[in-house]
Structure 1
Amino acid sequence: MLVRALVVRLFGVEYKVQGVWKLLHRHGWSPQVRARPPLEQDDASVERWRSEVWATVKPLRRPGTPTSASRTRRDRA
């Protein structure tokens, strides 16, 4: 929303959120990827957070064997 407001203020053109996303994507911008890491980032504290906190809150992995939503069992003869 901030980018959308900035476009309106600077250029006087209103876009919907999807339109702003398309403009940014067209110019190589992505909300998931940073151009560079922040200057004030402390790598040691990030690693500590990953090992201590993220390990307890990350989602469980899916089982290794494929499952089926079917109610019938295939092992019956």
Structure 2
Amino acid sequence: MLLQTRRESHLIHRPRAHLHLKGARESFAWQDYRDLLVRAHIRLDGPIVVVRDNLNTHLTAGLKRYEAGHDWLTTVRLPPYAPDLDPVEAVRSLVRGAMADTAFDTPDDLDRILRRELRRIQLPPHLIDGCLTATGLAITPPTPP
């Protein structure tokens, strides 16, 4: 998740291994996104702007109600199929480039390398700013009252 506060941009991530067990949920539910937003808000200690694509989980009534009920959260929804406007696509591109032509022995190896690459992108602020700038969108957080 790419977030922007009044001060700087942030990449907050939570990779999740998909367990192929009967009846197991394989992706984030809206409550998982809500919990990630809450943790981000606590960590950043201020209002945040989130750019959302049209993933069905992002469009659930529960998440929409949660977003509408919190003035510290501004959500920008992208039009349908707009990967050029989605800053997460730039992050994915950086990760794919770093992991290209790599064979992983175990799922744990993949998870370890993925987390390492996300941390590498997360640390220098210019990489996150570049992912946001590449969209051409001007994302300005609301001014506090």
TM-score (norm 1): 0.29
Whose radius of gyration is greater, 1 or 2?
A: 1
Greater strand proportion: 2
TM-score (norm 2): 0.19
